[in-house]
Amino acid sequence: MGYVVAVSNDKGGAGKTSVAVNLAGALGEAGARVLLVDADERGDATTLLGFDGNATTIGTLADVIVGKVPAAMAVVMTAMKNVWAIVSSPELAGVGAVLATRSGQEQYLARALAPILDQYDVILVDSPPNLELMARNALGAADACLIPVKMTSKLTHKGASDLADAVADFNESGYRVQVVGILRIEPPSVRKAAKRLTTELGDWGVPVFRTKIPQVAVVEDAEALSLPVMLHAPDSNAARAFRQAADELLGLLYPPEDEAEAEAAPVAVPEAEEAEALTEALVEAVEAESDPEPDREPEPEPTSMNPVAPEESRYVVN
- Segment 207-243, tens digit of pLDDT: 889 999 998 889 889 988 989 999 999 999 999 999 9
Structural domain count, the chain? 1
Phi, psi of 211 (to 5 degrees): -70, 140
Q: How far apart are the first and last CA of the chain?
A: 5
Query: pTM for the whole thing?
Result: 0.78
CATH of the domain at 124: 3.40.50.300
- Pick from 153, 179, 150: nearest CA to 165: 179
Residues of the chain with pLDDT > 90, as a percent, come to 44
The pLDDT, as a whole number, for residue 63 is 93
Q: How far is CA 82 from CA 103, 260, 301, in A?
A: 35, 27, 12
User: Is 198 contained in some domain?
Assistant: yes
User: Is 150 contained in some domain?
Assistant: yes
User: Is 301 contained in some domain?
Assistant: no
Q: Give the HSE-up count for residue 6: Cα atoms under 13 Å, Cβ half-sphere.
A: 32
Cα–Cα distance, 19 to 8 (Å, whole number): 10
The parent domain of residue 48 ranges over: 3-289
Looking at this protein, which amino acid is placed at residue 216? V
Cα–Cα distance, 96 to 291 (Å, whole number): 53
User: Is 69 contained in some domain?
Assistant: yes
- Among 17-26, 66-75, 199-208, 307-316, which is the least confidently predicted range? 307-316
User: Is 300 contained in some domain?
Assistant: no
- Pick from 29, 31, 32, 30: nearest CA to 5: 32
Q: What is the DSSP letter of 236?
A: S
**pLDDT for 151-177, tens place per residue?**
775 666 666 667 777 788 778 877 888
Phi, psi of 7 (to 5 degrees): -95, 110
Cα–Cα distance, 34 to 75 (Å, whole number): 11
User: Is 302 contained in some domain?
Assistant: no
Let me know: does 30 contact 248? Beta carbons within 8 Å. Answer: no
User: Is 296 contained in some domain?
Assistant: no
SS3 call for 12: coil
The pLDDT, as a whole number, for residue 12 is 75
User: Is 132 contained in some domain?
Assistant: yes
Cβ-proximal residues to 120 (8 Å cutoff; 6+ apart), any chain: 2, 33, 34, 35, 84, 310
